[in-house]
Structure 1
Amino acid sequence: MYLEISNPVDYHAGLYIRLSKEDEREGQSESVTNQLSLLTAFAKEHKLCVFDTYIDDGWSGTNFDRPAFQRMIADIEAKKVNMVITKDLSRLGRDYIMTGHYMERYFPENRVRYISLLDGIDTGIESTANDITPFRAIMNDMYAKDISKKIKSVKHDKQRKGLFIGGKPLYGYKMAEEKNKIVIDEEAAPMVRRIFDMALEGLSCRQIAARLNEEKVPTPAIYAGLNQGRTGPYAGMWYSERISDMLQNETYIGNMVQGRSKKINYKSKKCVRQPRENWIVVEGTHEPLIGRDAFDKVQQLLGSRKTTRSRTYDFLLKGLIYCHECGYPLAVINRPNARGEDCLYFVCRTYQRFTKAGVCTCHSIKEQTVTQAVIEKAREVCENYVRTEELLPAAEKAVEEANQASSQEKEAATLKAKIESLTAHLERMYMDRLSGILEERDFERIYQRGKQERSALEQKLSGLEAPTYESEKQKKLARELVNRFVDGAWSNREVLVSLIERVELTEDKQIIIHFRFRQLEAFS
């Protein structure tokens, strides 16, 4: 290390230390104790004032949402720290994009000097080590990617052997004393059996969820003490999708089911659900909680109801209409009106799921009523911005161009036909001259006249210009086009989606329109 700090009194240093489970395999040199000793010795040698030491123990370098790292960033924002020191660049992070962001943008913009001891990186001086920093970051990223592949391979191998590798077992089971094994949780198992019994009695998933909510039965997440990570009407509630998922899970008949979702990549925490054919299912790995016969009967009952939920409806406000009270999208259902005609109605989805829980209200209203009100309000609000006179010039130009193009095409076709006819006529005269039917003197006279006429037609074709049309007729057509556009624009889904961000329906049937342009906010 040849780093020198000429003005140590100007700095308040933050010593940053990170250790992940993968780094522990590298030996004692990567330990927290070793890193702390190295950084402390450097600060003491160069007479630096250390503001604080930040330690993230057990955190991956691909994740920058580490608690100590974020605390250090907060101190930088508060101007308490203007120097960051790490053992090497990989301690800062292994994601080359984010590492580059902090190295090349964040630290310089906040006037923070960054020092990596073993790499010889010091952003406070000009150095060749600084120039190759991006390549070091990429190498650290590749290391993280390689480690991720190895870990994923080990996990998949365990899954294929029927070993449980998840954090929390399925509701009704708990971790066994033997590693990677699960056993029945006698405290939660009766509730699982009761849910299957209710399904066998003919209750729908929605009815089962409503009964559990009415009895205030804790959900699997609450029972397991998990942080639900969200608030709202669904938080802490049973709902039909949760029940349906449980009733179809083969884990309850003794089969280990894993791989139902996976992370997008080693840098992202987001998981995506996998199709059923990609799940890893190993039979007979643990004690079943539900008998096979009962499980199969429940599947038949669930399958018999699928056709009733497969119908969908298209309507103008699809994807735009929400409940004002709970914030969730409104559902649309088909009900006969007083005359027996089928009509679409908006209803609150939260109310549908938790009717007896009193979480929200029905909000029932005809789809046609809401749609017409939104169209009228959009027309009313936007009238100040859509003026017929301002649209006329563009319409007139479009009409003129269309007429011009149509006229030119017709005249060009006529000219080309005449040119082709003249060319064929000249060719016939030439053959007549060769065969002696036409004398030389007559041939020259007729041939020259034909060539001149063809040349004139070709010149006219090349410089073709459209004839002028009656301006009054053209203006009338343009105005008709503008009026037709203004009258029909508000019932055009493409126009509405481009104007409206969302439409909210309140409990007392008030319609609130949130336009994409905030100055157009409207109520109905």
Structure 2
Amino acid sequence: MRAALYARVSTGRQADFNLSLPDQIESMLNWCTKNNYEIVQQYCDEGLTGTDDRRPAFQRMMADACNSSKHRPFDIIVVHSFSRFFRDEVEFTLYERRLTKHGIALASISQEGINNQENEFLRRMLAMVDEQNSRENAKHTLRCMIRNAERGFFNGSTVPFGYRIQETDEPARTGHKKLLVLDPLEVPVVERIFKLYIERNMGVKDIASLLNKEGITRRGSLWSTTTVYQILTNTVYKGEKLFNQKTWKTGEKKDVAEIIRIPVEPIVSPEVFELVKEKRIQRSPKMNHPRRLTSPKLLTGLLRCGECGAAMTAATGKSNTYFYYRCNTRTRKHLDLCSSKMVPMGKLEMSVLSALADKVFIPERVGMILKELKQKMRGDNPQSITELNKQLEAVHFKLKNLYHSIENGIQIDAILKQRLDELKKQETEISRKIEGYSSTTQAMVDSIDMEEVKVFAGLLREKLLNRDTPFSKEYLHLLVRGIELKGNQATVRGSYVSLAGAIKYTAQKKNLSTSQEVLRFNG
């Protein structure tokens, strides 16, 4: 009989249990020799689970076996154990029956007693046991990885650009535990990508093109819109590596409470990351048509009619000399459907900018906005950093007393050990919250002082009223979400978080260079 061998390992650790690919192949070769089977093909999948069929070699083997247009390539598929073939009872049965339909048998060298067709029930029972064992192993592995992540260690997967792996002295199951640390050669590239997006108003495509043109590669590969987007959206760059976000098998997103936030050294500040996030939202086609972003008209994409809710866009008079903002309902449907009137473009734009500069973005008003934002954040998360520090101090005090009692000879019974474990767990949880605080929006808002507010307000007023630069429109679209015009009254809706991020970022730029430098969007 002609035999095909199939070998599979899920992880490198399986080699420690005589399940490595070479060990499996050698055992199967000896078994085939003993049973006078001719080996005609070998298929191997490395680092892939047996709970699904997403295995290249497995799919190749099944395609070869079940291709009716070809002569049957082999008579039997030999595996080390049935768990190597599949760890899902239903899938195991379906695939085995496909093979049987094409006249191909399936045999295990370590479970010879149930190889024949008469023992199908036992094989199915064994497949159910393998499936349950796989589930339990997955749960145990996930628990270990979560614990590892809670302690700040790196669990694997692709290393984010800008970082590298550093081994610690603490032993792991294989080798030593690892940390994510900054890569000094890649960090400047990440910083530049954020700067190009914020200060020069470049999109992900333009950034990728510029980097490729300059010969700056991503670990030997060219940049693309996807890889640049991943840089701009990954929270690791503001100091927060997320773990356990999705169910590995289905890709389903997990509850926020299950996500582990691993603190790492940031490359950009939280305010820079938040500014990028707000700009991405505003640049999204769902929020603004691309033509609106490139339009020279200041209020395009922001202005809406207070009478019917439609957008108001640029229009010209009969002589094409005078420009207005006009309700789209009147322009595209019928004049009688809306009672709003055309508004002179220059007059409205200057009125809006003057009102923002003189009434909204003034130190007193901005201070009130920040106070409201802090109160809202405290409402969502009543624990402040001060309260967390107090809680940690109280836990340390209790632990110190327990350690002191143990040193003085008190016996460690089950109750004392349980209490000690509870306090250590509280210490870990509170410490993780404190470490993660520095990368949150709340930390950025809490750090803003009135001096920074005054600096920002002064610089913003100067730039908003200067129509000779594109600064007015860029900052307006970043800070303002919409303007509703009804009669002679305009109602402005804005983003508190964007305002806070802009204040902090502008203050940082001022400290980094001269007092004249401000946040620029077009270099």
TM range (shorter): 0.3 to 0.5
- State which structure, 1 or 2, has the greater radius of gyration over its C-alpha atoms: 1
TM-score of the pair, normalised by structure 2: 0.47
**TM-score under structure 1 length normalisation:** 0.47
